[in-house]
Amino acid sequence: MQFDIKKIVRPNIEILKAYSSAKDEYTGEANVLLDANENSLGSPTTKWYNRYPDPYQTKLKEKLAFIKKIEAAQVFLGNGSDECIDILFRTFCVPGKDNIIICPPTYPMYEVNASINNIDIQSAPLLPNYQLNVAHIEQLVNDNTKIIWICSPNNPTGNSLDRIDIETILNHFNGLVVVDEAYINFSKQKSFAQSLIDYPNLVVLQTLSKAWGLAGIRLGMAFASKEIVAYMNKVKAPYNINIVTQELALTALEEVGQVNDMIMHLVDMRIALAAVIESMPYVEKVYPSDTNFLLVKIPNARGLYQYLLTKGIVVRDRSSLENCADSLRITVGNEQENTQLVDAMAAWIDLSFPDGAV
Q: H/E/C letters for each residue in 84-121?
A: HHHHHHHHHCCCCCCEEEECCCCCCHHHHHHHHCCCEE
pLDDT tens for residues 329-353?
999 999 999 999 999 999 999 999 8
The span from the CA of 208 to the CA of 214, in Å, is 5
Whether residue 27 is predicted with pLDDT greater than 90 in this model: the reply is no
Q: How many residues does the chain have?
A: 358
- pLDDT for 262 equals 97
| CA of residue 282 relative to chain centroid, distance | 32
Closest CA to 273 of 286, 283, 259, 263: 286
* pLDDT confidence bin for 258, thresholds 50/70/90: very high
Residue 358 has pLDDT above 70, yes or no: no
Average pLDDT over residues 173-202: 97
Q: What are the tens digits of pLDDT across the range 59-103?
A: 999 999 999 999 999 999 999 999 999 999 999 999 999 999 999
7 has a pLDDT exceeding 70 = yes
Q: Does domain 5-254 have CATH number 3.40.640.10?
A: yes
pLDDT recorded at residue 357: 56
* Mean pLDDT over the full length of the chain: 95
CATH annotation of 257-352: 3.90.1150.10
Cα 96 to Cα 116: distance, rounded to the nearest angstrom: 11
Q: What is the mean pLDDT of residues 194-198?
A: 96
Domain map (residue ranges) of the chain: 5-254, 257-352
Could you tell me the CA-to-CA distances from 48 to 42, 78, 103 in Å, in that order? 7, 22, 45
CB contact burial 42-52 (16+ within 10 A = b; e otherwise): eeeeeeebbeb
As a whole number, mean pLDDT of residues 16-33 equals: 80
Q: pLDDT: is 42 or 265 the higher one?
A: 265
- Residue 211: per-residue pLDDT: 96
* H or E element, residue 318: none
**pLDDT tens per residue, range 209-230:** 999 999 999 999 999 999 999 9
Digit-coded pLDDT (tens) for 235-249:
999 999 999 999 999
pLDDT at 25: 74
pLDDT on residue 109: 98
Is the alpha carbon torsion for 112, 117, 118, 122 positive or negative?
Answer: negative
Start-to-end CA span in the chain (Å)? 53
pLDDT of 151 higher than 70:
yes
Backbone φ and ψ of 118, nearest 5°? 60, 45
pLDDT at residue 23 in the model = 73
The answer to whether 294 and 266 are in contact (CB under 8 A) is: no
Q: Are 120 and 140 in contact (CB under 8 A)?
A: no
Please list the alpha-helical segments (H only) found in the chain. 11-14, 58-68, 81-92, 109-116, 134-140, 163-172, 226-235, 243-252, 256-278, 301-310, 335-352
